[in-house]
Amino acid sequence: MERLSKITMPIAFNEPLSFLQRITEYMEHVYLIHRASRQPQSLERMQSVAAFAVSAVASQWERTGKPFNPLLGETYELIREDLGFRFISEQVSHHPPISAFYSEGLHQDFLFHGSIYPKLKFWGKSVEAEPRGTITLELLKHKEAYTWTNPTCCVHNVIIGKLWIEQYGTVEILNHRTGDKCVLHFKPCGLFGKELHKVEGYIQDKSKKKLFMIYGKWTECLWGIDPDDGPEKADGDVVDTVPESQETVQVIPGSKLLWRVNTRPPNSAQMYNFTSFTVSLNELETGMEKILAPTDCRLRPDIRGMENGNMDLASQEKERLEEKQREARRERAREEAEWQTRWFHRGSNPYTGTPDWLYAGGYFERDFSGCPDIY
């Protein structure tokens, strides 16, 4: 199996975003976190958190372009007052590639943080990305913390044929205060594609009693139902049709809708299958470069070149930046200097005890004097 992260892919395989921006797409459905925070019952909160965990991978549907690998020390910030959050991420390690992120609600309702360390495996015709690293969501008003790990993402037909994506594996979300757990099975596609995109699972309490059943598709919507009103009662299934795709989820009568994907912009297929949220991530508004960290992805010349349709410039810049990064690494080796991360530090997750990268604070005070020169 090849270490894909070592292979330099031609730029034509890329999409004009850095992996740090791809992580920020977790926040597209942030209203689900705000909704969880407003729920008085822990079972209702877990339903919204589960919907958020599934919604976080929805933007990957049909996204077969590869995001740019972040340079060591690269950062990305996003402040969305309309959506009630701010977000900062940093590439904290190059080998292995680790991206750390931290987000907070502007109304002091949540903290959301973690580090992503995708383990890539190349299986001949497909590439599998297993996302190592814990994701933590803290609902401050309820003094609750939830942790989980994302499912495995696989891109098929990388050599020949039409590329397509599936997510599979089990995601377990634990509420550390109550002991409630949500177990979600992202189903592999199966022989005739019957299970494609399906998610099924349940919420159980600490004595393993099933409190709520969840089903749907990570590309479309998520529904839930009380187990006592479960599938055996559903003789006449109603079919819920989803306007933006031909697929349908069979909805059990009495179910409640937990989440539905946002409709993509009409020209999404010509724009790397981006969602409306994603399209805005690289926007550089007037005067923004004066306040951004010099390491922000929006200032990366190769991504900017690709976005402007200048592929030759983008390729040249990508090579230049990678060479600059290698030279800086050789320089550190000569001086026997360790790379210093700027906004995150190594530590252990306060809830699981596993190794994690924790936000050191201070980014939004905007003292960028010690930032590395990576572009």
Q: Tell me how far apart the alpha carbons of residues 42 and 55 are, in angstroms, rounded to a whole number.
A: 20
Contact criterion met (CB below 8 Å) for 109 and 364: no
Among 221, 130, 220, 215, smallest CA distance to 168 is for: 130
pLDDT the model gives residue 9 = 55
Q: Could you give the 3-state DSSP secondary structure of residue 141?
A: helix
Q: How do the pLDDT tens digits run along the chain, 375 residues long?
A: 344 444 455 666 789 999 999 999 999 999 999 999 999 999 999 999 999 999 999 988 888 888 999 999 999 999 999 999 999 999 999 988 999 999 999 999 999 999 998 788 888 788 888 878 899 999 999 999 999 998 888 888 877 778 777 888 899 999 999 999 999 999 988 767 778 889 999 999 999 999 999 999 999 999 999 988 755 444 434 444 434 444 478 899 899 999 999 999 998 888 899 999 999 999 999 999 999 999 999 999 999 999 999 999 999 999 999 999 999 999 999 999 999 999 999 999 999 999 999 999 999 999 999 999 999
- CATH numbers and ranges of domains, the chain: 4-282 (2.40.160.120)
Closest listed residue to residue 32, CA positions, set 48, 20, 17, 16 = 48
How far apart are alpha carbons 37 and 141 in whole angstroms? 7
Structural tokens at position 269: 């297929």
Token duo for residue 345: 């530090």
Burial group, residue 108, by CB count within 10 angstroms (0-12, 13-18, 19+): exposed
CB 249 within 8 A of CB 215: yes
DSSP E strands, 51-97: 66-68, 75-80, 85-93
Residue written as tokens 């410039």? 313
Q: Which residues contact 37 (CB under 8 A, 6 or more apart)?
A: 45, 105, 109, 110, 139, 140, 141, 142
Q: Do 332 and 94 form a contact (C-beta atoms < 8 A)? A: no
